[in-house]
Every structure is written in C-alpha cells, then in structure tokens.
Chain A
C-alpha cells in the first residue's frame, strides 16, 4: 500500500503528466474566477481531450482543473461579492465586507491559505480512507442522508442571527422553491405554471449568482463608489501575511470546516452548496465574536475556504468506490473513468489503487500551484476593488448574465437570476436573512427524496439505524447547545451578581 502511495507520486511527477496538470490548473483558475461558468460545464467540455490520455494523465488534467475552481471561485466572492462558483457563496458573506473596508488582501490571504490547508486535510482523509472506503459508504444510505439534510436545516437557526422568525420564514419560502418541478414519487409537475423550464426545478447556479451578486452590483450602481468605498488605495497590497496568520491562529476552524466538507461532500446530490453554509454556521456558533459574522469576520472567511477544498476529496470517495457521483463535478468525472477504461468500484482499491492515490497527489499539487499563482496575482486583482464602481458595472453585469445563462443555455436561467437578485436586494434592504432561503432550496428537495426512499426501503425501521441515531444526537446538540450556553451564562451572571450585590 505504501509502495503504491509513493509510486503514484512518481507517476504524477512525470513531465508529461505535470504539463497536463499545469494546463488543467490554468484552465480551472480562469473558469473558477468567472461566476457561473463552473467546474461541471468546463470539465465536460474538456472530456474529449482526454480520449488519448493515460488514466493518471487524464485525471491530472481533469481533477487538477476541478479542484482549482473551488479555490479561485473564492477570489471572485471575496473581491466582488459575486460567487465565482455556486460553492463559493459563503466566502462572499464575510470576505466581501472585508474588501469593502480595504482589507481585501487580508481576506484573500486567509481564504487562499485556508483553501490550501483544507485541500491537504481532504486529501489526507481520502488517502487514509482507501482501505475502509467500501464498508463506510455501504453503511451510509438514504436514511443517513435524510438525517444529514435535517442537520443542515438546523443551521437555519444559527444563520438567522437575531431574527429567528424571519429566518424560519425565509427557510419555509426556500423549501417551497425546492419542491418546484416534477415530483419524484408520482411524476406530477408542482408549481411549474406549465413551463417546461421549471420541470427540473429551480437551477442552483442562477439562484446563487442572483441572490448574492445582484445586490452587490446594484449597490455599486447606486452608490457610485469603488468597491473598497472610502478606504484609501494603499500603495501595495498589505495584509496577506496577516490573513495567513489569521488562518493559522484559527486552526480549529480549519479542521472542523474541512471535516464538515469531507463528510457532506460524500453525500450524493448534496455537495458543496450546502457544506459551505454548514461550515460557516458552525464557525459562527463556536466563534468568540458571532456578531461580526456577515460584517467581515475573518473566521467566517477561513471556514468557507477550508471547507470548499476539503469537500472535493469527500465527493471523490463514493465516486471512486461505487461510481456514485458525490456532486455535479464528480458526475462528469465519472465519464472520464469510462473514457480512460477504468471501472469505479473495488478495482480502484486493489489493482488500480495507484490511480486512486494519484488523485490524492493531484489534489494537493494542483492546489499548491493554484494558491502560489494566486498569491502572485493578488496585487493587480485587489487593485480592481479600488477602481471607480461604475467602471466595473458593465463587466460585472455581463459576467452575471453569462454565468446564469450557462447553467442550461436558456433565457429561463436569466429570469431565475433576476428573480433571485430581486429577492437578495429585498432581503438586504429590509434586513431579512438570505442564507436560510438558499440552504432550504438546496436541502428541501433532497430531504423529500431521501425520506421517501428511506421509508420505501426500510419502512420506519430506518430510524433505528445506528448512524441515524448518532446523527440525531448531534442534531439535538447543535440545536440546544446555544440554549444551554445561554442558560449557563445567565446562571454565572446571577451568581456573580449575588456575590457583588449583597
């Protein structure tokens, strides 16, 4: 096993393979930065190029591209508030406010460095998981996935701040959006208004772009200031080192977010769009300054960065072991297995284990290259945020339109994006939380599917599966931990009062 592990490193380091890896990284870098134009579409377009490649070469090219999009997607989120990828929305929540305070360098330093650490942790888990992958994935089924979606929904509480009722209302609205489309049980179209576009439900990519990017662009148009507002344009980008130090200081956030990323990444259909907010919510719950979240909390940025990149490794696990894609990205990667003549499944853990291990190395090397490259171009990128706002507007509006359109190549995507933008703007204008809405859109449909499958396969006995019970306990802890903490704090305050006030 160890021979195979290091043998695969040698294979990845072959000049031709490395050349392909670097090409993949370069493509992924650009695609990640452009909003909407994301991993899956680009990956699919690059598939034909792999027809003549060896397996490890093909994965160096494709996987290298894929993991890098998660890293560079965060750059757009932090600098412009428009998520570069649907999975990079959480990075915008705190990264963008930091940029607006003129601390873009610090935010980027933190998000890039935590991305690198996250990818390392994810890769380590993937490598360590090889011997136990199959029993682990076999033990997880629809019931576990259902409870995990519920666990995700409990974070609505943490992400609503002081406005719990508003948060729940937005979550209910999100769930309603989630059931739009043909239902999975009887095949009846729900709330589709006879529009075929809506049969598959509301697309996530246009939704995220509109919900998060729309408000930011409109704000630039209204205020006519540069993104960094009144902040003085510094002569050089400062704070990158600060961001790296911040990341190291918050190592526990990095580890926890990465763990969440790997776990959630394994669940088919769930993936990064949810993992980021669970990591973000959990960072907020454990933070010393939860009130800073949404206003430029550096630990929020770190949680999003680390989570994103660890997730990629997580979603590879079921793909390699069973050919079940963990997300849209790995669904396309699955085609690549067939193209290079590999069968996902037990062979990947025995005769072809070198290819599996090569994926670990590719993830690490690609991210290292991308982060190093990103640090080199940080300066000009950060400068952009000091340019007069109206000058950026045409560029950003076009990016949003094209990004949304590339989801299914339909004007329906652009309408969805505009509707989401209206919701996002209304939320900010009248102070309603946006994230519970998005979280519920993603989780709602899955919760319904997995509940039906659980009941169909197991009746009610699924409730007694051990992992399900464990997850329910975690859920209870997440729900009641703040409450318990509050009670404890109050009791401590009272006892102190009793001492000081006789």
Chain B
C-alpha cells in the first residue's frame, strides 16, 4: 500500500560535508587528509556526496553508530558521507522517504529493523514501503534482547516467570515498540499470564519502573540496559539468543528454558530472527547492480576497519557485521515468518 503523502514535506537535500570532514579529523581516521580510494579504484561514488539518514533525533544509539561509521564509509567509497537526521513517526517517515527516493545510491539509511519489520508485518498505519524491495547494504549489529527483572523482586529468574500464576507486570514504551512486541510474544510463547503497561516517556523510564520495583519485567536490547545490569540495579533473567553477547559475562540463555506448549518454540525462533535483523543499512529499492555492489563492498570495507572497531569497542557498542545479500535474505525470512508469529505481532499493535 503506497499512499502518496500530500504535504509539502520534502526530502532534505545534501550539503557539503565540511562538518563531516571536521569530525573525521577529530576522530582521527583520515590521517593524511587525502581521500583514499579502495583497492578496486574507480568507485562509482568517487567525489559524490552520500546522505546517510538517521530516522531519529541526534544523540541516540542509531545516531552514534551512524556518525562513527560515516567517515570510514566515505573513505572506502571515495565519497563524502553526510549524516542527516530525519526524525518522525518512530522512523516510518524517513523510511517512507527512502523507499521513494531515486535509486542512485546517494541516499542510504540506518534502520531499526525489529521496529520497521514488525510495523510492516502488522500492516501498521504509516507504513508506506515494502522492506523486501529495499537494496540492502549490510547489518551493523544485532544486539540480543534481555529479559530484565528485579534482583529482589517477586520474579527473580526466568523459572519464576514461567511458574507465575498471577498476572506479571510487564512495561513497554508503547504499542509497536520493540519492547512491546518482545514482551507480548515472549509471554505468549511461554504462556506467562501478563499485563502490559505503556505510556512511559522513554525506555529508560520504563526500565526504571523495574529498578524501583514498581513493575516486574522489561524486555530490552542488551546494549541499552548493560549499565543497569552491571551495577546490579536489575538482573538479566534470560538472554534471548543462542550465545552470550560481547561485554556480557554471565546470564542464562533462553535455550535453557524450552517453551512448554506446541508452537511456543516456533514463536521464539521467529522472535530471535526478528532481533537478529538488528541495526541494518539500506538504499532505496532498485539501485543498479554496479552501485549496489560498490555500496556493499564499501560498507564491508568500513566495518572491517580496525580503527572503527576499536572506537566502537571503547564505547561498548556491539558489532555483528553481516553482508548485504545475507541481510536481504534475513529480512525476507522474517517477512515470511509463520502465521502464528505474524498474528502475535499484529496483536502487539
């Protein structure tokens, strides 16, 4: 369903990247100042300006990743990469714009994949794109979800949650948010009786409801809540993944707790696929083969740069790079999830 938006809202044009260059020098990557072409030489983006769109306000996690990566991507492509914030409608606004942008590879966007994928599955209002059509460039990271509980609360472990007979108080920022979807699908998979309270002005505030003992569970990406866990304000009852992520030393994996009923495992697997899509980068649908290949190679060149990896590690920002083709397959796989999962996601909106 592509609805033409009838406002005067337009895409933001590109600007010169003096600021980007400034930042690049501060970050200390372009040592000589010369633009370094990649091995292949003659990238189709030589000398061009590429907009790297962040669909959120400046300052958040997605913004930081993008600003860290942009100079390295520019170096690999021989182009200037300018970071552009286009917040609105929980990233649906910018994603819709990217979907209808010219397929020249000069506009790429970082995406909150669990968010946009589930919006599309649920056919939420404001979805004016089809993710399976985008030109996928790669995935940056896929932070697994963590089930956060109170260390001294009524439910201190995942077993406690599974054994719950009364309604467990979950919290989330709002319907359609990934903490909402994760909470409701997990509770359904394990048959946990639950109640979901929403309306917090931010995810930190929802987490704090658990810290303060006013709520029982908040399901969040591990990198966001790592500080809360390491300072013992809250406890990871389970990590929703097959292995422990970087920077997390000990926590039970969800695999230790097989879901009781039929279909539970299927829901859980689909949910893990959803969060595996993670933080990915895409160009508009229909980017020609040559440009797309160049973007994919440039992106993987940037993501393999040791200096960038060191900087990301310094900030404890996880990296799980995945190539463009594989990312595209993963996106398709999530969109083709079993009916039960699609239903469960729809119920979370």
Contacts and interface: CB of A to CB of B under 8 A. Distances in A.
Interface of A: 40-41, 43-45, 47-49, 51-52, 138, 141-142, 182, 184-189, 194-197, 199-200, 268-269, 322-325, 328, 331-332, 334-335, 338-339, 341, 343-347, 408-412, 415, 446, 448-450, 452-453, 456-458
B203 to A, nearest CB: 10
30 contacts: A47-B58, A47-B67, A48-B27, A141-B212, A142-B200, A182-B90, A185-B175, A194-B3, A195-B7, A197-B7, A197-B88, A199-B88, A199-B89, A332-B58, A332-B59, A334-B204, A335-B61, A339-B315, A341-B315, A343-B227, A345-B228, A346-B232, A408-B86, A410-B9, A410-B88, A412-B9, A453-B197, A453-B199, A453-B209, A457-B169
B198 A456 contact: yes
B159 interface: no
B63 A195 contact: no
B93 A196 contact: yes
Nearest to A451: B199
Query: How many of chain B's residues touch chain A, expressed as a range?
Result: 35 or more
A323 B204 contact: yes
B31 interface: no
A335 to B, nearest CB: 5
A456 B199 contact: yes
Q: Which residue, of A197, A328, A450, has the highest number of chain B Cβ atoms within 10 A?
A: A197
Contact of B201 (A269, A323, A409, A411): A269
A84 to B, nearest CB: 19
A266 B12 CA distance: 35
A195 B9 CA distance: 10
A187 B124 contact: yes
Given A269-B201, A448-B199, A47 B9 contact: no
Contacts of B176: 187
A197 B228 contact: no
B84 interface: yes
B202 A324 contact: yes
B293 interface: no
A199 B92 contact: yes
B157 interface: no
A57 to B, nearest CB: 13
A297 to B, nearest CB: 33
B153 interface: no
Contacts of B93: 196-197, 199
Nearest to B169: A457
Contact of B197 (A52, A199, A410, A456): A456
Interface of B: 3, 5-10, 12, 19, 23, 26-28, 57-61, 63-64, 67-68, 84-90, 92-93, 96, 124-126, 128, 169, 171, 173-176, 195, 197-202, 204-205, 208-209, 211-212, 214-215, 226-228, 230-233, 311, 314-316, 349
A341 B226 CA distance: 12
B317 to A, nearest CB: 8
A325 B86 contact: no
Given A197-B9, A411-B10, A325 B202 contact: yes
A47 B64 contact: yes
A270 B280 CA distance: 33
A412 B59 contact: no
Nearest to A198: B89
A339 B227 CA distance: 13
A331 B63 CA distance: 13
A409 B198 contact: no
Given A43-B59, A345-B233, A457-B214, A200 B28 contact: no
B153 to A, nearest CB: 13
Contacts of B8: 411-412, 415
Contacts of B12: 409-410
B90 A452 contact: no
Contacts of A458: 214
A359 B17 CA distance: 33
Nearest to A347: B231
A185 B8 CA distance: 30
A453 B212 CA distance: 14
A473 to B, nearest CB: 23
Contacts of A408: 85-88
B59 A331 contact: yes
Contacts of B90: 182, 199-200
Contacts of B63: 44, 335
A-B pairs, 10 with minimum CB distance: A44-B58, A456-B197, A187-B175, A332-B59, A199-B89, A269-B201, A343-B227, A44-B59, A449-B199, A452-B199
Nearest to A333: B59
B10 to A, nearest CB: 6
A328 B93 CA distance: 21
A322 B208 contact: yes
A351 B94 CA distance: 42
Given A185-B199, A197-B9, A457 B349 contact: no
Given A44-B63, A196-B9, 14 more contacts: A45-B58, A47-B67, A142-B199, A182-B90, A182-B126, A195-B5, A196-B126, A199-B93, A268-B204, A324-B202, A331-B60, A344-B227, A409-B12, A411-B8
B208 A343 contact: no
A405 to B, nearest CB: 9
A356 to B, nearest CB: 14
Contact of A200 (B5, B58, B88): B88
Contacts of A345: 227-228, 231, 233
Given A197-B7, A200-B89, A346 B233 contact: yes
B186 to A, nearest CB: 19
Nearest to B23: A48
A199 B124 CA distance: 12
